[in-house]
Structure formats: structure tokens, C-alpha cells
A = this chain, B = another copy of it.
């Protein structure tokens, strides 16, 4: 079953919400745990335990685990394992982007069957959409997904992403178009997009796009789920908002975490 089919089924069952697992200093404080790896583990596993049956996907943010070296990656492996057992899908936010056999190694790390194999990853196209090919190939072969950064939620991204390629297309739109072409060829819809939910207008035309659009920036960064229908009007893409801090700041209580998810889905 393709990644996109699994995700669609999951969204149909529990609703369209991805919860980011970002164990950053403010979250560790909100959970009353130490600023250490044990605290990171409590947040990561606690979030999975509390919400695994209630969200379509988890999105662990690799940086907050990498910060602790190999011990942090071992905790991330535990988190990924628990999340994959929970029923929710796992989108690992790593924003990798490289070329050739290096990109292939990243693909094998995250889209293979190793200890860090997940359902999907985020990737960055500065080295060219086509440089991502080893990851797209492996995602399609292994029924996984890849989300390519198109238009990110932060204001600093505008100058490059809303710029134009050497051949004259808006850069974020080129990413959209190439992802769409790839999905048409494969039929697998393995290639999703990252399009931020914080701008007045998304700045790209998604009218043909059929796969999943991951929408970060909801909550702490100012975007709201209720605004997404308008922001993403006119596309049949599967819109998957991703919320991290707005939920994790509820703290270690499973009840309060589940209430935060209900509030987010209801709002």
C-alpha cells in the first residue's frame, strides 16, 4: 500500500492533523523535565503514548535529537519505533538535500528498513529537484513518502522561493510542478510538498497537485487551521496541517495533550 494511501486512510479515520515532536528547551520546561536527554525522551515518548491513536502523523524534528549527539539519535530511534507502533505515520523532519551517492545514503538512512526507517521525510531542493532523485526512487520502491520544501512558513524564505529559476518560472512553483510530474509518472503520489500556512497567499498554484501538502507554521508561528480552507482553496491535494508547540506546551498530561488536539481540530 503506498504511503499516500496509508496517509489518506489515516486522515479519513482520525482527521487531518500532524503533530510535531519538537523537544526544545521551552517544551522541556513546560513538561517539568530536565534540560537533558532524559527530558527529551520523556517528551518524545510521552507525546507518542498520549496521541498515537488520535493523529494522522507525527513529525519528529531531527535537530532537537541531533543536538544530543549519538545518544539523541538513539532516543529518536526509540521515538520512531514507538510512533510506528502507534498507528500514526511518521514524517521525519530532516530537510536533507544532497547529490548522487550522498543523497542515496540519506534515502537509505530514512526510507529503508534500518533503525531510522520512517514513512516519510522532508527534503530541501537547493541542489536541484532532480538531485533528489535517489530519495524519490527509493520512496516509490519502498512505499514511503518525500516532502519537498516548496514555500516555507518563515519570512526569510521569500526572496529565494518567490524568485525565478534560470528558465524563468517561480522557484516554489517549479518544485510544485516537478513534484506533480513525478507523481503523474509513478502513479504513487509519493512526492508531497511543504507549503507554509503563515502567508496571506501561498504564492503557488496547486490546482493540479493531487498528493499531500504538509503545512507547518500552524499555532506558534501564527497560522490557523480554520484559515486553511481559504488559503488552499481550489486544490484537491490532501492538506495536512502540522502543529508542534501549540500542542506540546500542554505539558506531560495525556488528558491535556488530547484536549489540545481536540481544540486544534475543532478550531
Query: Interface residue count for A (Cβ, 8 Å)?
Result: 61
User: Which of A24, A98, A167 neighbours the largest number of chain B CB atoms within 10 Å of its CB?
Assistant: A98
| B156→A163 contact, CB < 8 A | no
Q: Is A5 an interface residue (CB 8 A)?
A: no
Q: Is A189 an interface residue (CB 8 A)?
A: no
Q: With A and B bound together, what is the CA distance between A157 and B101 in angstroms?
A: 16
* Among candidates B105, B131, B165, B174, residue contacting A64 with C-beta atoms closer than 8 Å: B105
Q: Is A258 an interface residue (CB 8 A)?
A: no
| A96→B63 contact, CB < 8 A | yes
User: Given A125-B126, A157-B126: A105 and B174 within 8 A (CB)?
Assistant: no
Q: Is A124 an interface residue (CB 8 A)?
A: yes
Q: With A and B bound together, what is the CA distance between A158 and B154 in angstroms?
A: 24
Q: With A and B bound together, what is the CA distance between A106 and B67 in angstroms?
A: 6
Q: Is A108 an interface residue (CB 8 A)?
A: yes
| B22→A70 contact, CB < 8 A | no
19 contacting pairs across A/B (C-beta < 8 A): A26-B101, A61-B105, A64-B102, A66-B106, A66-B109, A68-B109, A69-B109, A69-B116, A70-B115, A73-B73, A95-B96, A124-B124, A124-B126, A127-B149, A130-B156, A131-B157, A159-B167, A160-B166, A160-B174
